[in-house]
């Protein structure tokens, strides 16, 4: 399977799809309207590269996304920036796309000069992130009792993402 990891800003026509995924996955049982998610994603379209959202494309179809943004823990000011909203369509899971999206965020954060990135993970997803080198730094955070995880970014392993895309083949 060949895929591309690209900035959402390079293919903004997918913004509505990504907003729908994020809303359905994490916000549908709240008062947050899908339009708020769309406005948030619009802030990821700037040329500065932060905040940013990456998307995975397979056969011209968007099949996954992930964001690098300020925080998901307002009361933990040291925990910045954050990887968030990692999503891969169910029929494309288990093929390495989630890992590729995480690695794209890590590489981009490195390029922006960050030494560490954080995320919130439910207990069922902690193992995935641990296999990718993330460590739990706080358990049972917030009302959803999530785990705050950290990834120390190693400078020597910084792959360079092109401004438009990275093309990879997963087996």
Could you state, in order of their start, the residue ranges of all structural domains in the chain? 2-169
What Rg do the C-alpha atoms of the chain give, in angstroms? 15
- pLDDT digit string, tens, across residues 25-68: 999 889 999 999 999 999 999 999 999 999 999 999 999 999 99
- pLDDT digit string, tens, across residues 76-124: 999 999 999 999 999 999 999 999 999 999 999 999 999 999 999 999 9
Other beta carbons within 10 Å of 116: 14
> In the 8-state DSSP scheme, what is residue 48?
T
CA distance 134 to 102: 11
CA distance 9 to 123: 31
Q: What does the pLDDT read at residue 54?
A: 98
**pLDDT at residue 24 is higher than 70:** yes
Q: Token match 């954060």: residue? A: 109
CA distances in angstroms from 137 to 32, 123, 130, 143, 160, listed in the order given = 28, 13, 12, 17, 28
Q: What does the pLDDT read at residue 154?
A: 82
Q: What does the pLDDT read at residue 15?
A: 98
**pLDDT at residue 160 is higher than 50:** no
CA distance 161 to 6: 9
Q: What does the pLDDT read at residue 165?
A: 44
Assign 116 to helix, strand or coil.
strand
Question: Phi, psi (5° rounding) for residue 6?
Answer: -130, 160
Structure tokens at 59: 């056969």
164 neighbors 5 (Cβ within 8 angstroms): no
User: What's the pTM value of the predicted model, to 2 decimals?
Assistant: 0.89
Domain 2-169 falls under CATH 3.30.1360.40: no
Question: Phi, psi (5° rounding) for residue 23?
Answer: -60, -50
């Amino acid at each position: 399977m060949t895929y591309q990891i690209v900035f959402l800003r390079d293919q903004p026509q997918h913004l509505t799809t990504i907003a729908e995924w994020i809303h359905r996955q994490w916000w549908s049982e709240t008062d947050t309207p899908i339009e708020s998610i769309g406005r948030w994603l619009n802030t990821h379209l700037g040329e500065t590269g932060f905040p940013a959202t990456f998307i995975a494309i397979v056969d011209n179809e968007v099949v996954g996304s992930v964001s690098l943004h300020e925080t998901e823990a307002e009361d933990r000011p040291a925990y910045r920036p954050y990887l968030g909203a990692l999503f891969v369509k169910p029929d494309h899971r288990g093929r390495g796309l989630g890992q590729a999206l995480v690695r794209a965020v890590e590489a981009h954060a490195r390029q922006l000069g960050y030494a560490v990135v954080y995320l919130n993970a439910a207990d069922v997803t902690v193992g995935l992130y641990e296999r990718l080198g993330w460590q739990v730094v706080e358990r049972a955070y917030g009302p959803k009792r999530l785990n705050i995880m950290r990834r120390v970014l190693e400078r020597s392993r910084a792959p360079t993402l092109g401004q438009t895309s990275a093309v990879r083949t997963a087996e």
